[in-house]
Structure 1
Amino acid sequence: MTLTEPQPQTKQERRRPGQSWWIKLPMAVVVIFALLFTASRLDFLPGWADVFGEKTQDRTGPALLQSIQDMSRYEAASGNFQVVVDLEKDAKFLPDALKGSRTLYVGAGSVGAAVDLGKVAKGNVIMNKARTEATLHLPHATLDKPALDPDRSYAVSKQRGLLDRLGDFFSDNPNSERAVQSLAAKHIGEAAKDSGLASRAEKNTTTMLQGLLHSLGFKDVTVLYDAGATR
C-alpha cells in the first residue's frame, strides 16, 4: 500500500470555503437594516414595539403670562369658514419639474365680530328724566383677525421641482407652509366681510342691551350704530 503525501492547496482553493471581509461587511449591514425595517413592521410580535418603537416626550417649559387686558368688547357673533388654497409658484425660465411648486391646502378657521362698548362716550347714551326711555349710539361692529384651526387645517398635496426638493432636504423651509396659511387667512377674512357677520353682531348686541335695560325698568330702548359714536 502506497501512501501519497497531501498536496498543498492553492490560493483559489483556500478562498473557496469562505468569503472575503469586504464581501461580508456589506452583507451584514444589509441584514441589520432589513431586521430593523422588519421589526418596525412586525407589531404583532410581543416585545418588538418596545425595542424599536418611538417614545415622545414633551419637554416644553411652563407658559409665561405676559399681560392681562380688561375686555370691554362684546363678542356678539362668530363665523366658521373653510377655503381650499391652490398656491403655485413657477420659475421664469425653468420647467416645473426642475424648479417650482404647487400646494393644495385646506384652511379652516373662525372670525369673531364684536362691538367695543368701552369706546362709547357719555354723550352717546341719552335717557329721559323718568328713566323709562334710552337711546344708545354705538360704534359699528368690527371683525377680528381670522384664526386658523390647526386641527382642521391640512395640506392635501405638495408638488415640488427637483431643486426645491433638494433645498428642503438640506435646510428647513417653514416659509412654504406659512405662505399657504397666510393666504388661507386672507381669503377667510375676505369671506367674513361679505358674510354679513358684522350686521349679525350688531343685531345680537341690540338684543342683549335691550333685554338688559328692560330688566332695569326701561320701557323704550333704541340702539343706533354710528360711525362717529366713539370717544
Structure 2
Amino acid sequence: NVTIVTHSSGYIHCLYENATIDKSAYQYFVKRLKSYLSAGLDLAMFANFLRCNQNYQKYFQLCRDCHGHPQFLKAEVLFHYEHGSNFRIADATHEKLLAEVSDEDFVSYELPGRIRCDRLDEFLRKKKPDVRKPQGRAALKQVLDSVVPDARRLVDKLADFVHTEPRLPAAKKNYVTGKPIRISVEQTREEIIDYLQNLRQSNTTADLAFYAYRDMASCDWLPFVRAAVERNPVSLELTKSMPIDEA
C-alpha cells in the first residue's frame, strides 16, 4: 500500500482529491514501479517458487544425463541438498549442485506422478506464458493438470509470486499546477534553505518541509499544539491546573 508519492513537481495522496505532482511524471512512476514489481517466468523463477512453497516440490523431478543414460531425482531431495550448498537449482551452478548429490538418490527410471523440470523448462522457454493474463495461466495449468491436484491454485499462487500489484493513489485526481522544486547538488545547505523559504508560498511540499523539520521560527504553532493535546493525553493531565497563558 502506497499512501503518498512525492516528486520535485509535487505530491499525490490517496486521501486528498487535489494533487500537485506532474501528471505525466506520476504516470511514468506507476509504469516503472509495476515493471519493477514483475518478474519473467523461467525455470529459475519457478524454482524460487517451489523453494518457498515446499508442498508442491513432490510433484516435480529433475533429469540428468549420465554417460548417455537418463537419471531422475526427486525435486525435494535436490532442494534438501541445495540448503547446505553454495550452488543453486536452475542457475549457472546447477550442474555443480547435481554433482554433490549421492548416486544413491538417483534412479534410472522416470518417476511416476511427477513433472520433469527439463520439459517444463522447454515449455517456459518456447511458450513464455504470462501468468498475469488468463491465457498464460490456462496454458500453464494445462501442463500441470495431469499431475498437480488443483493446478489452478498453484498457477494463481505463482502469478502472485512473480507479480506484485501495488496499491497506489488513484490517478484520477484534481491536478493543481505548482512551482516545482529545483535543487542542484552544487547548492550549499544555506542556499537550499533560502530557496525553499522563498518557494513556500507557491509549493505546499516546500512549506511542509519546514513543519517536518520543526522550524518553529517560521511555522504556525497551532498544528503542533493541537497534536500535543490530541495525540498525547498526558499533556492534558499535566497542564489541567495551569492557566491558559502558562500552559
Compute the TM-score of the two structures, normalised by the length of structure 1: 0.23
Q: Which has the higher strand share?
A: 1
Q: Which has the higher helix share?
A: 2
